[in-house]
Amino acid sequence: MEKKEQLYEGKAKKVYRTNDPERLIVDYKDDATAFNGLKKGSISGKGVINNKMSNLLMAKLEKDGIPTHFVEELSDRETLVKRVSIVPLEVIIRNIAAGSFAKRYGVEEGTPLEIPTIEFSYKNDALGDPLINTYHAIALKLATEAEIETIKKYAFEINRQLQALWKECGVTLVDFKLEFGKTSDGTVVLADEISPDTCRLWDSETGEKLDKDRFRRDLGGVEAAYEEVMKRLSGHMA
């Protein structure tokens, strides 16, 4: 697959065109941002870990019935994916109160939720990615009712599968963000990434944070945390 010009550069990835109009190459960076880009930094080796972890998890989800944009890993940092138009909704699944959810509702961080819950935010940096409900999303033509139902069904099933997988690795899946896209024929598929950048992952025994919160909250040991979750996952899936 021939890598051509860069189409896009985001906070964590660059995207390139290829000689196949239905395929793109994603290149993962070590850049780190938080609070909608207000905090910037770099996490050494993050791009390699996020690339490999996303690919491992997406390949497993695909095998277990969740369609994804993943095609094949090309190198430590580069992956071939299906070209999709991203649905402009960030989909957040929460199992335990943490982060903005805990603050917003005055719940102590670490409180287990009665049931897994879902939130949508409008993927718009200029507006600060505001929370949005399904009626707003349909009214603004961000997605159809049928697409939102499909996204919800996939998101809860992904949560079920990933919770079980991480538990086997001695890790608690607290919450995570997903993005979905539509292929050229309109099929909704899981896109973007699944990594310590997009998931809250706590050690099941100690509660130690093994994710981007170490960067957000200046806890130190960010690289070591990313390496630890990758080691546990790859060891379990070997």
Domain assignment of residue 229, yes or no: no
The mean pLDDT of the chain is 96
**Residue 227 in domain:** no
3-state helix, strand, coil in the chain (%, to 5): 35, 35, 35
Collapsed DSSP state (helix, strand, coil) of residue 223: helix
Alpha-carbon distance of 60 to 35, in angstroms, equals 30
Residues 89 and 185 in one domain: yes
pLDDT of 38: 78
Q: How many domains are contained in the chain?
A: 2
Percent of the chain with pLDDT over 70: 100
53 and 167 part of one domain: no
Q: Same domain for 214 and 104?
A: yes
Do 52 and 118 lie in one domain? The reply is: no
Is pLDDT of 218 > 80?
Answer: yes
- 70 and 172 in a single domain? The answer is no
Same domain assignment for residues 141 and 121: yes
CATH number of the domain enclosing 44: 3.30.200.20
- pLDDT tens for 160-212 read 999 999 999 999 999 999 999 999 999 999 999 999 999 999 999 999 999 99
DSSP 183: -
Q: Are residue 27 and residue 118 in the same domain, yes or no?
A: no
Distance CA 227, CA 20 (A): 34
Predicted local confidence at residue 193, as pLDDT: 97
Task: Write down the pLDDT at residue 35.
Answer: 80
Question: Contact, 96 vs 112, CB < 8 A?
Answer: yes
List the beta strands (DSSP E) in the chain. Answer: 3-9, 13-18, 23-28, 31-34, 39-42, 70-73, 78-82, 85-86, 89-96, 112-122, 131-132, 171-182, 188-191, 199-203
Range of the domain at 205: 85-221
Amino acid letter, residue 90: E
Q: For 169, list phi and psi in degrees, rounded to 5.
A: -95, 5
Q: Among 82, 101, 132, give the residue marking a domain's end.
A: 82
Q: Is 126 within the bounds of a domain?
A: yes
Residue 238 has pLDDT above 80, yes or no: no
Burial class for 37, CB neighbours closer than 10 Å (0-12, 13-18, 19+)? exposed
Average pLDDT over residues 125-146: 96
Domain final residue, candidates 82, 117, 133? 82
Asked if 66 and 181 sit in the same domain, the reply is: no
- 52 and 18 in a single domain? The answer is yes
Clarify whether residues 150 and 92 are in a common domain: yes
For residue 75, is it within any domain?
Answer: yes
Within a domain: residue 41?
yes
pLDDT of residue 194: 98
| C-alpha to C-alpha distance for 214 and 89, rounded to whole angstroms | 25
Is residue 234 domain-resident? Answer: no
What CATH number has the domain bearing residue 161?
3.30.470.20
Residues 123/224, Cβ–Cβ less than 8 Å: no
What is the average per-residue pLDDT within 212-216? 94
pLDDT tens digit sequence for 52-72: 999 999 999 999 999 999 999
Output the pTM of the full model: 0.95
Structure tokens at 203: 């050690």
How large is the angle between the packed helices 145-168 and 46-63, nearest 10 degrees?
Answer: 110
Region 40-46: mean pLDDT is 90
Interior angle at CA 174, CA 193 and CA 195, nearest 5? 20
